[in-house]
Chains A and B, each alone.
Chain A
């Protein structure tokens, strides 16, 4: 049987498509929920992890430093000493910058200049996950927005999409900028995006996030889907706000504001 060139190309073309489809179908692992890969016995489980930041409990500089250092030290977050290459997982900024559009010129001075603890909001509807072209950013079943550092191509689309500035990019090799490397946690390479992961590596060992542990009760972590959880109790008994809730990303980090006691007591005496 002879085969002319046209016939050959036809068969070759179809076989290539066939191999491609077969190859995709042969990789069901790709479609597994990513949260399945760290299934330990001690793993803390939740339907939707959330955090409540009680700003009333942040008083001294030490209160902030403890929380931020706890995270940055164990996660080998580099310090380049300049804002251009800066990497941060958890940090502090003023009300005006944390809640743009909600500030007003007559708000209590104490609040205006009070730094708010900021971190990834682990949004229920995260734009960063939506835009990532390689699924390097993905949502776990328990609500944690994760970053696969080995799959990230460094396109930084997630940084453009995140309305909270929660993502950092390794513009330079981070390793020389880590003061005391923690051998328990991987360091990163140039060209990838990184972020807070609610300490998923600690949750796997049955521990709560490092910042929460170091916060002396100022940060509370728990399952927001569980009506009996501590986070739900705090949300029930306090007025809380979230960052840029109007964007519809449904952030799960809630803030209890620090209303100056003089204002509260003044209100009572007038009653």
Chain B
């Protein structure tokens, strides 16, 4: 089926080559980082994780979101997701690929990455994160490919796929829970030391990932003959709405605990992020942009009459996605390091090479996504009109 990715119009190839060019520039920049070390990034002794790990954290959420389609479709027999569920599974493949790449580019000694496998360390959450991410990637590739293959032949997927699909549901929850545990169990990092961290991660994942999926579904409809359908998009819109309400609520719970308790260690990161601390306020405009976009998206989503309008829904999803990207892909990580363990403020801002590498990892993700979607859409276009039974 992969050969379908080799047949395409001018627009398709322009897009593919554009992505390849971005990947190429990023690769050259990465070689520079490989040679000179992570010193070319904005990271320091005090803020030892930054943009790369932030993107990894955010994209784990995007990956986990496929389950928001898989659960209704396979568990509750919500037939309308039949055509769109494959888009969710392939989005997960692309997101996990980016996650793994972001971990890779963040490592000081990437050539030693196999040490994680050669010296398995069950007490390290990072070990479990690599296990669950690798497993989730494999699951989604197998499930996506098998179901698509069945679609192509107009038959039901083989019976061995079903157990894998059911396994993928708790697995999706686990990838985000484990990623939250990377942060939540560290002594002395007040901003992360919160039992609600995993819940926050899941809520933001189930809002951000499906929001991206809506945007992608609308793009697919606009540029191909494959229409995922109005109803499934509206149904996902509802999922996004509830998940975002939960996400904002959880964030407010964190703010309450920190501010009302007045414990300095707990309030300082919030002050740094939203108000500035000791004259340092680099992230303040960004965090408020995130908050305002979150409110905008909620207003657009909560009122059914607005949400039913597809262009308003698209707008809401874009606002929501950017809001969560700032909050989780940047603020959450930096807030854990600022102020540092000495209650001193060392600020962080990504450098140009760091930004180029980050963009190019996203380009790899979009390339994987484009190729997988091209295959899925081509199959769909061939079988247009046939209602699928899984």
Check if A169 is an interface residue, CB within 8 A of chain B: yes
**Contact between chains at B189 and A153 (CB < 8 Å):** no
Q: Are A191 and B37 in contact (CB under 8 A)?
A: yes
Interface residues of B in 332-347 (CB under 8 A from A): 336-337, 340-344, 346
Query: Is A244 touching B48 in the complex (CB atoms < 8 A)?
Result: no
Determine if A97 and B109 form an interchain contact, defined as CB atoms under 8 angstroms apart. no
- Cα A162 to Cα B188 with chains together (Å): 8
Task: Report the separation of the CA atoms of residues A248 and B123 in the bound assembly, to the nearest whole angstrom.
Answer: 17
Q: A165-B45, A191-B107, A191-B109 are in contact. Are A171 and B187 (CB under 8 A)?
A: no
Give the CA-CA distance A162 to B48 in the complex, in Å.
Answer: 12
Q: Does B9 contact A (CB under 8 A)?
A: no
Q: Of residues A100, A127, A163, which shows the largest number of chain B Cβ atoms within 10 Å of its Cβ? A: A100
Interface-central residue, B107, B187, B265, B344, by most chain A CB under 10 Å: B187
Q: A101-B265, A191-B37 are in contact. Are A93 and B342 (CB under 8 A)?
A: yes
User: A230: CB under 8 A from chain B?
Assistant: no
Q: Which range holds the interface residue count of chain B?
A: 35 or more
Contact A154 B119 (CB under 8 A): no
Q: What is the total number of residues of chain A having a CB less than 8 Å from a CB of chain B?
A: 48
Instruction: Give A89 to B344 CA distance when docked, in angstroms.
Output: 19
CB-CB under 8 A for A154 and B109, given A84-B45, A164-B341: yes
Check A131 against B125 for contact (C-beta < 8 Å).
yes
A18 at the interface (CB under 8 A from B): no
Question: CA separation between A44 and B41, bound complex, in Å?
Answer: 42
| Contact in complex: A160, B336 (CB < 8 Å) | yes
Do residues A134 and B44 form an inter-chain contact, with CB atoms below 8 A? no
- How near does chain B come to A17, taking the closest CB pair, in angstroms? 14
Complex Cα distance, B47 from A159, in Å, reads 9
Contact A244–B116 (Cβ < 8 Å): no
Distance from B203 Cβ to chain A, minimum over Cβ atoms (Å):
23
**Sorted from nearest, which 7 A-B pairs have the closest CB atoms?**
A154-B108, A163-B188, A191-B108, A190-B37, A171-B39, A97-B342, A133-B126
| Chain B residues within an 8 Å CB radius of A96 | 343
Query: CB within 8 A of B341: which of A165, A172, A190?
Result: A165
A98 interface residue (CB < 8 Å to B): yes
- Which positions in A face B, CB cutoff 8 Å? 30, 83-87, 93, 96-98, 100-101, 127, 130-136, 151-157, 159-165, 168-173, 190-193, 244, 247-249
Inter-subunit contact A171/B341 (CB<8 Å): no
Q: Of B46, B187, B344, which one neighbours A163 at CB under 8 angstroms?
A: B187
Whether B115 is near chain A, meaning CB under 8 Å from some CB there, is yes
Residues of the B chain whose Cβ atoms lie less than 8 Å from the Cβ of A133: 115-116, 121, 124, 126-127, 130
How close is A226's CB to chain B, nearest CB, in angstroms? 28
Asked whether, in the complex, the Cβ of B346 is within 8 Å of the Cβ of A83, the reply is: yes
Q: Are A170 and B45 in contact (CB under 8 A)?
A: no
CB-defined contacts of A193 to chain B, threshold 8 Å: 108
Roughly how many angstroms separate A85 CA and B46 CA in the complex, as a whole number?
A: 10
Residue interface mask B18-62, A partner, CB < 8 A = 1: 000000000000000000111101011110110000000000000
In the bound complex, CA of A165 to CA of B343 (Å): 11
A244 and B188 contact, Cβ closer than 8 Å, known pairs A83-B45, A97-B342, A151-B119: yes
Task: Please state if A135 and B109 are interface contacts (CB–CB under 8 Å).
Answer: no
Residues in A with CB closer than 8 Å to B37 are 170-173, 190-191
Interface centre among A86, A131, A133 (most CB of B within 10 A): A133
CA gap between A163 and B342 in the complex, in Å: 9
Tell me whether A169 and B38 are in contact in the complex, defined as CB-CB below 8 angstroms, given that A134-B121, A161-B186 are known contacts. yes
Name the contact of A160 in the complex, choosing from B49, B118, B127 (C-beta under 8 A): B49
Q: Is the interface of B mostly helix, strand, loop or mixed?
A: loop
In the complex, the answer to whether B124 meets A130 with C-beta atoms within 8 Å is: yes
Chain B contact residues, CB within 8 Å of chain A:
36-39, 41, 43-46, 48-49, 103, 106-110, 112-113, 115-116, 118-119, 121, 123-127, 130, 182-183, 186-189, 264-265, 336-337, 340-344, 346
Contacts of B116 in A (CB 8 A): 133-134, 153
Contact between chains at A153 and B115 (CB < 8 Å) = yes
Smallest CB separation, A89 vs chain B (Å): 12
- Taking a contact as CB atoms under 8 Å apart, the answer to whether A30 and B119 are in contact is yes
Q: Given that A160-B49, A160-B189 are known contacts, is A132 also in contact with B264, CB under 8 Å in the complex?
A: no
Most chain B Cβ neighbours within 10 Å, of A152, A155, A156: A155
Complex Cα gap A192–B45 (Å) = 12
- Which of the residues A30, A85, A247 comes within 8 Å of B187, measured between beta carbons? A247
A sample of 21 inter-chain contacts (CB < 8 A) reads A96-B343, A101-B265, A130-B123, A130-B124, A131-B124, A131-B186, A134-B115, A135-B121, A153-B109, A154-B38, A155-B103, A156-B108, A161-B187, A162-B341, A165-B46, A171-B38, A171-B41, A190-B36, A190-B37, A193-B108, A249-B187
B44-A85 in contact (CB<8A) = yes
Interface centre among A87, A100, A153, A192 (most CB of B within 10 A): A153
Specify which chain A residues have a CB less than 8 angstroms from the CB of B126 in the assembled complex: 131, 133, 155, 157
Smallest distance from the beta carbon of B35 to chain A beta carbons, Å?
9
Which of A87, A156, A173, A193 has most chain B Cβ within 10 Å? A156
Q: Which of B43, B110, B121 contacts A171 (CB 8 A)?
A: B43
Chain A residue at minimal CB-CB distance from B264: A101
A159 to chain B: which residues have CB within 8 Å?
A: 45, 48
Closest approach, in angstroms, between the C-beta of A32 and any C-beta of chain B? 13
Bound CA–CA A49/B186 (angstroms):
25
Residues of A within 8 A of B38 (CB): 154, 169, 171, 190-191
Please indicate which of the listed interface residues B41, B108, B130, B342 has the most CB atoms of chain A within 10 Å of its own CB: B108
State whether A151 touches B48 (Cβ < 8 A): no
Q: Is the CB–CB distance between A97 and B187 below 8 Å? A: no
B109 near A152 with CB under 8 A, answer yes
CB distance from A82 to the nearest CB of B (A): 9
What's the nearest-Cβ distance from chain A to residue B336, in Å?
A: 7
Contact B112 A168 (CB under 8 A): no
CB-CB nearest in chain A for B186: A161
Residues of A within 8 A of B112 (CB): 134, 151-154
Q: Compute how far the CA of A114 lies from the CA of B38 in the bound complex, rounded to whole angstroms.
A: 34
Chain B residues with Cβ below 8 Å from A154 are 38, 107-109, 112
